[in-house]
Structure 1
Amino acid sequence: MPVVDAWMQHPTLRHSNHEMFESLRRWTGMGMLEEPLPVKTTVAALAAADVEIGLSAAWYGPQGPLISNDEVAEFVAQSEGRLRGVACVDLAKPVAAVRELRRAVEELGFVALRIVPWLWQLPPTDRLYYPLYAACAELGVPFCTQVGHTGPLRPSETGRPIPYIDQVAIDFPELTIVCGHIGYPWTTEMIAVADKHPRVYIDTSAYTARRYPPELVEYLRGRGRRKVLFGSNYPMITPAQALEHLADLRLDDETTELFLSGNARSVFRLGNQS
């Protein structure tokens, strides 16, 4: 069954070898990259799990781009149609950030914006985000963000679904919000927020199927089958690793298709085929 990976990135050396990811390297056993990862390696990892489209994101932080939008555009160009771009911007420069988002969507063909709040140590309700929310709604692209605890060595408070995602969804009912990393240990909060707001979704990135919290599996099997998207967080976890125990969730065929690709195709307006 074809797959859309809603949260991944093709890394640069600046991104992959950053000191803040030391904890992730310790957990996964991955070492530092000694040379840039070829795009063909990422394409092969996606193809191994039948991933037709990987949403490859840029990363911007207070010290500058770890993966720039133009680098992502180059990765997309080399991917033989396997990758689509997800923009990032400098949150500290709101006017320039909106201009860059517009450029990424209108000129580079990117399909979403992603901001990682812990990287900025600013919750999603901070005023610096609000021009970008309005721009996303106007451009018709989702806002993607991280929820739950922070694996890298940064504080976790910014990942709370309540009050932060809840408040943003109240203030911007036209905005589509995709919340990556499940929300653990606040998964029940995240489910409540997704239930409450029709345009709020959850993606499963950074977790393998065998590690999904029971409350998320129950939600996915039932009323949340149109609210949960598959994500891997490649290269930390490959899509094949993330999906290895999918059968153990005992999802029916319709739910499996929605989870693996149908919901993402609708949310990110990807069409029926890559």
Structure 2
Amino acid sequence: MFIDFSSRPPGPAFAGNASHLANYRRIYRKTESEVASASGDDALAEYLDTYSRLGASRVVLKARDVRSTFGFRIANADVAEFCRTHGERFIGFAGVDPHRGDAAVAEFEHAIRELGLRGLNIQGFEHQLAIDDERLYPLYEKCIELDVPVNIHCGTNFSTHTSMTYGAPIALDRVMIDFPALRVCASPPGWPWVHELLAVAWRHPNVWIGTLAMRPRLMTKPHSGYEPLLQYGCTVLQDRMIFGSAYPMMPVEKALNEFEALPIPDAVRRKWLHDNAADFLGIAAG
């Protein structure tokens, strides 16, 4: 049993081939090429079967709205419809455009109260906003009011149309000082500022770390920069590490197999794979 905190279903409503993300396709060419090559209904059937066969209890899908900066979105309504159609295994996070001010806050509230989405997704590099930009603050306030968590992109990005500094995790420290009740999953896990993100999470008990969009085996590879995640994730932060495949950037089964091979105690492994995400999402651990 596991929870996949990051997945993008096949289909035109979830297409990830926006022009500002073209460099991602270069970076992840090898692992994306290992994803099943079926198309249309066959691709969706394979996607759904994969999670059923592997025993996923929940799968998190994330909307995005970056129309002000890059003219691109994965719509809240489409994410909500997918979750309604395919059952409680799928949980949707809303995406809104913070450059739209009060309208974005209202859209976010509608997505939670009316569409049934369960959190907020902030991709700062696509919004061209740092994590602590005050244009995001009304959305953080609304998360607390609605009692839903937020996923915040943390670490470098591979789009050459925007700065990598938007993901610097030190900015998350200021946000948590200002909003200590905010429940945040910082994902990906902060590279090349992994130590910085670990320090922020250690300081703030409402910060989780999503180990997604990376090869799990890199946590055991010397000089990769990811090794501290394993050290701290098995000790002081063992209750706040969350697994995600970032499918289709990496095949789900391959990500799980690499994770299972890590030298992690079984009790801690269950936390990373399931219980920590369940806690973050506010669902029964089972």
Normalized against structure 2, the TM-score is what?
0.88
CA distance in 2, matches of 1:121, 1:36: 33
The secondary structure found in structure 2 opposite 1:74 is: helix
Contact 1:94 1:132 in 2 (8 A): no
**Structure 1 vs Structure 2 CA RMSD:** 2.1
- List aligned pairs for 1:1-274, cutoff 5 A: 2-10=1-9, 13=12, 15-29=15-29, 30=32, 39-61=44-66, 62=68, 63-153=70-160, 154-162=162-170, 164-212=171-219, 213-272=226-285
Q: What 5-or-longer segments of structure 2 have no aligned partner? A: 220-225
CA distance in 2, matches of 1:257, 1:10: 25
The residue identity in structure 1 corresponding to 2:250 is: I
Q: What 5-or-longer segments of structure 1 have no aligned partner? A: none
- Identity between Structure 1 and Structure 2 (%): 30
CA distance in 2, matches of 1:158, 1:36: 35
CA distance in 1, matches of 2:260, 2:17: 34
The secondary structure found in structure 2 opposite 1:249 is: coil
The residue identity in structure 2 corresponding to 1:20 is: H
CA distance in 2, matches of 1:168, 1:72: 27
CA distance in 2, matches of 1:18, 1:54: 23
The residue identity in structure 2 corresponding to 1:59 is: R
| Cα displacement (A) at 1:11 | 5.3
| Cα displacement (A) at 1:238 | 2.4
Contact 2:11 2:44 in 1 (8 A): no
Number of residue pairs aligned between Structure 1 and Structure 2: 270
The secondary structure found in structure 2 opposite 1:71 is: helix
The residue identity in structure 2 corresponding to 1:133 is: Y
Normalized against structure 1, the TM-score is what?
0.91
The residue identity in structure 1 corresponding to 2:244 is: G
The residue identity in structure 2 corresponding to 1:57 is: K
CA distance in 2, matches of 1:90, 1:36: 29
